[in-house]
A = this chain, B = another copy of it.
């Protein structure tokens, strides 16, 4: 079920090979081309590339020269920053409809973080030079980008808040809640989108802590876990437990 947008999204000529629906949907969800001139969109359509990447592919490293900005059609990508001694901090993990690498425009043309595919992904590559040009010329495009960045920024605010105010089991509960579709009711069956180890570092904790905290969460809220499948019997008990420490109540996610 595609997100309904008031604007029309032109379809891409022949660039896309396979899953055209996903493609258009992802572009729509990204909101980047909402209400822009078809000509703007077409310029991108001509110069973009769609590619598949296997889990484990490193797309670029921090400080790499930025040639492309990426739009996720499907799959998952993690953004992270790495210390000299191999420690890493996961900035975020993104999925379909989301864009990354675009802020290199405003830096010195370098990526401010590294990116790695963590679940097989189809990505759309937009030339960053083109994006930089068009943003300067097309007002609507700049406005859309502001909107996108502002949403991302608020998410980061919440991230800091979560890590400050919530303990490990609560952060996991909050993460699970964000996987639930808005408006879902009754018993919900979830699939963890990527490795538990990665979820752990996405949430700022160690894998061992994640494992134990998930156990505690089971006891406290009655969720059931089998491998990477999680069954949430009731949103209420989960959100009651997780969101109590937080400034915003469920759902704290951004709907897009």
Contacts and interface: CB of A to CB of B under 8 A. Distances in A.
A165 interface: yes
Given A139-B137, A143-B135, A106 B150 contact: yes
Nearest to A205: B164
Interface in A118-166: 135-137, 139, 142-143, 145-147, 149-154, 156-157, 159-161, 163-165
**Stoichiometry (number of copies):** 2
A157 B247 contact: no
A131 B87 CA distance: 42
A107 interface: yes
Interface centre among A103, A105, A151 (most CB of B within 10 A): A103
Nearest to A153: B153
Given A81-B247, A113-B157, A157-B113, A146 B142 contact: yes
Question: Which DSSP category, helix, strand, loop or mixed, fits chain A's interface?
Answer: helix
A89 interface: yes
Contacts of A94: none
A167 to B, nearest CB: 12
Contact of A160 (B149, B154, B156): B156
B161 A89 contact: yes
